[in-house]
Structure 1
């Protein structure tokens, strides 16, 4: 007998968090999220809590947990887009269609009770959370920013009636013998463009904490404007901005965040990279144990793989070429031999401009993710 229950007790919250850790135990490609972040989400203490309405569900079969899912109503997004959508995320289950149907029906009913007309996902509360269902690249280690899933998830979701809404592709950027020459060329171009548009790069000769605090609002203003038309994105409110920055402070080195400023010190462009910390957390199930912390500090200090979190510029500089500033920094790192490769994370398949940037590198498109939708009418 299959039973779905809304998560309400401490025991159920623990079962919800631990289920994927058991489902993917010994899977070499799965990277858990921070356990403490999951606890906050289940206790309705995430940075986005004021903008969302959410419910978590567990599925039981013969008293064993066999699946989980979260339904999110992103009220801010619905208001901005004049839509009535409920998102699903944190979907994990055994390879059983009836289990999957039962979980999604719980989300559908939650959405209908609030007047929602479409269910879509996997999507989190914002673009800074894990999103997209992996549909290609199952033999690749997931980045910390994204979720790994088994191939059968796609079969289950499509059998329920979900249709493709958008796809993202991910690329691996590897070293090349041409990196130094390309880097020198881009450095010259960058210098000329900085002079042409009267721009400069923010100084990083301050502590990580002060650097992030100083440019927090400018950073998010730039992201909000640059990403305003991208799929599923929402602007970050002031309180949410501060909470997200707190999460960054633990792993971010100021040199990993390149900020381009105009003559009035306004942020006009951002390039954000993060050390790949997934393997450091995998053994502890995302918990920050003493050993996990040691591994984490080692990776932060000398990362072998770097995740590209975002590159964005204000619309008025979109065709200026100032992204060459960020690309030259990346090529410089690759040519130095200090890192093995970059992971680009998600790029919309329709975002040809961004995908074309990676042609300057020795690049391989090695993963693909999908967001689905289904009508609730």
Structure 2
């Protein structure tokens, strides 16, 4: 058997090989969406991704007979280390991600290399895949390989789960996405809840002001860090990360698709929706050059998509588990659904990801005719 050699990523050529590998491994898979290579390169590069302001990572390549046949990252997030252990992160928890392997013979040594790096950093528990954080591409796709992922959701070889488990890992948390038909009316009960909210003079559901998006993003960040703070896997998002993400995603920010709910003039909830840009960039082969950048800019002037993704929504803690919380959620969903269909031509939505134990959010997805269409799994192992 040809020996597998694992080595750290050191040079720019190594980084390029790290980014390029999935393009070979998934070349024949019609449901894999090629990411923009420049985006992946920025994600793994200190100075370009603000995650490195509170984390450190080491990338690894696997080679066999001089050919790159696998990759993985090992990383630790100092903000995650400060979280309560009962919420999944906490002291001694390190992570790995960006896992790709040509076969099972490659997978084992790759994961072992990541674990060795984590042990050197005094980590006692390994949690993954996270690429690089819970807010980017968490989990391994274990169900839903029959259709492409939406924007900022991962896609993985169906064999990976067994290879990860063979390395001693067990699933610790599942993340669900819900497919929602948005060209049909919501059930009568949801319509009544929305109508009742519309009659409540205390409630205002407003569009974000894209011209003042930095201030709007600060409001959303405040709500998000409060609303999600008790969730499994929570790590606070920093101001730098919000600014970076806002700049990165501003071209797909449309005021009709991001709503802030106010009660008595106080912002208490938000819902963010993006057109699935994968439907356009997935045809670019990983590059905006030489002419794809112009095609993308033209498309972004008035995008028409089949799918909208709701990546984030939240209600402040003091309103959670109240009728008001579900009412605000349904009101925002209803307004964004109408705009998605009438202004962007969308016929389906994707809601999530949602933690498997997040009963309120799962109830929202199910109440608007949502069906689970993808399942992502996060694994753990004691080191």
TM-score (norm 1): 0.91
Q: Is 2:177–2:353's contact at 8 Å kept on the other side of the alignment?
A: yes
User: How far is 1:350 from its partner?
Assistant: 1.2
Task: Provide Cα deviations, 1:329-368, integer angstroms capped at 9, x if missing partner.
Answer: 2443577593120011311111122112123333321211
Residue in 1 aligned with 2:74?
71
Alignment of 1:17 with 2:23, yes or no, is no
| Equivalent runs, 1:143-292 vs 2, <5 Å | 143-175=150-182, 177-179=184-186, 184-193=191-200, 195=201, 198-204=202-208, 206=209, 208=210, 210-264=211-265, 266-289=266-289, 290-291=291-292
Aligned-residue Cα RMSD (Å) equals 2.2
Q: Distance in 2 between matches of 1:54 and 1:5?
A: 14
Q: Distance in 1 between matches of 2:196 and 2:286?
A: 42
Residue in 2 aligned with 1:83?
91
TM-score (norm 2): 0.89
**SS of equivalent residue, structure 1 residue 31:** coil
Q: Distance in 1 between matches of 2:259 and 2:223?
A: 13
Gap change, CA 1:174 and 1:139, over 3 Å in 2: same
Gap change, CA 1:172 and 1:293, over 3 Å in 2: farther
Task: Provide Cα deviations, 1:153-202, integer angstroms capped at 9, x if missing partner.
Answer: 01100111101100112211114654496675344122134x2xx33233
Q: Could you tell which deviates more after superposition, 21-30 or 69-78?
A: 21-30
Gap change, CA 1:115 and 1:4, over 3 Å in 2: same
Q: Which runs of 5+ in 1 are unaligned?
A: none
Q: Distance in 2 between matches of 1:156 and 1:48?
A: 28
Q: Is 1:126–1:232's contact at 8 Å kept on the other side of the alignment?
A: no
Q: Could you tell which deviates more after superposition, 85-94 or 34-43?
A: 34-43
Q: Is 2:5–2:64's contact at 8 Å kept on the other side of the alignment?
A: yes
Q: Is 2:97–2:132's contact at 8 Å kept on the other side of the alignment?
A: no
Q: Is 1:200–1:261's contact at 8 Å kept on the other side of the alignment?
A: yes
Q: Could you tell which deviates more after superposition, 120-129 or 59-68?
A: 120-129
Gap change, CA 1:357 and 1:141, over 3 Å in 2: same
Q: Is 1:32–1:144's contact at 8 Å kept on the other side of the alignment?
A: no
